[in-house]
Amino acid sequence: MENKTNIEKIRDFLEQEQKSGKTLFSYPSRLNQTNSLTNFKIKIGLNKYKEIILEEETGLELGGMNKKSFSIVIPIKEINLINHGKISLLGREVNKIKEPAIDFGIILLIGIQDNTHINEDELRQLNFISNGIEGFSIRTIPRRFWCRISTSALQKGFSFEFLGNVIINLYKQKFKDLIKSVEVIFINSYPSSIEQFVVLSSDILSKVKEKWKKKIDEWRKRIDCDYDWGCEICPYQEECYNVKQVLVSREEI
């Protein structure tokens, strides 16, 4: 019920922004993501394009030091709440942008199975997206979501529709059957929209984090884990995951 309420808040926010006169566009769902990317000249591949885009090579910056920006990943077990493959854009498409840098935000709704063990922090690590697209990079700096698109990638037709499709494709490649659906929402060009969404999302994220922490604490008690460090930096993370899979299998039997 809580997740349903959160998703309704996000969708209501987008609808209200559209009613206020801001441009909201949704791209058609393309469930066969691989085929939908063949029309682009930009190369993609999981961990195949680990490149740094220098300032002189940059055609467009998304977010950055002097721009408002955010990235939010929300894992949801009620898969039916997510429109798999849907990409929404509140703002302008790349070919309509004339400035060298814009305000930018991205929301990813990730549908996971109820019995799936995925580290939430791993879902939030977006560097694998940066490393999977030719001419695109994500710069990691505190409290900032900062992307660079090379001039070459822009000339090849880089767009938010393309980026959304690639994100879905790379998530499915990396996590395979662990995730079932991905929906992407972009916000750009409207600083007020980004500010409003950050306020809206703060309440959603605090509840999600609290719920996730409770789940992790219960799991650690179950396997008698008394380590002080968090699961995301635990050197025994893989072994812990394997133990859980065994317990899950035993419960199913």
Q: For residue range 152-205, what is the model confidence (pLDDT) as tens digits?
A: 999 999 999 999 999 999 999 999 888 999 999 999 989 999 999 888 877 666
pLDDT (average), residues 9-32: 88
pTM over the 0.85 mark: no
Instruction: List CB contacts of 211: < 8 A, sequence separation 6 or more.
Output: 2
Token digits for 129?
Answer: 């997206």
For the chain, percent of residues with pLDDT exceeding 90: 47
Count of alpha carbons within 13 angstroms of residue 16, beta-carbon side: 10
Q: What is the pLDDT of residue 28?
A: 76
User: Per-domain residue ranges for the chain?
Assistant: 2-214, 223-253
Second-level CATH architecture of 2-214:
2-Layer Sandwich (3.30)
Quote the Cα angle for 97-13-166, to 5°: 50
* Span 82-136, pLDDT tens digits: 999 999 999 999 999 999 999 999 999 999 877 666 777 788 888 899 999 999 9
